[in-house]
Amino acid sequence: MVKVDPRHTSQTCSRCGHQARQNRRSQSLFLCRVCGFSVHADVNASRNIAEKHLASLGTSLAGGPPSDGLLSPSSDEGQALALQAQGL
């Protein structure tokens, strides 16, 4: 399993991914030095942990559920349509 280091999650921007000790302005405030993202430090760390956990499962907060192919026609349907087009 993926081990999440809480020290790094508390120093990593959950918006742009920049990691620096300076991002952690105080016990309760996170402020990214790169993109200026400001949020409660615990909220930022929680987002990073959730993102890493979901990434280990093969998905992400931004991506949604992985496609299982139901939205595209099956190969059998495509073959049937091809046969109909040929008059068979």
DSSP class of residue 59 equals -
Which of these ranges, 2-10, 24-32, 40-48, 63-71, lies near Zn ion under the rule CB under 5 A? 24-32
The torsion angle over the Cα atoms of residues 42, 47, 50 and 53, rounded to 10 degrees, is: -100
- The interface with Zn ion within residues 25-84 (CB under 5 A) comprises 32, 34-35, 37
Using the rule CB under 5 A, which residue among 18, 19, 39, 52 binds Zn ion?
Answer: 18
Q: Give CA angle at 42 (31, 33), nearest 5°.
A: 15
Binding site for Zn ion (CB under 5 A): 13, 15-16, 18, 32, 34-35, 37
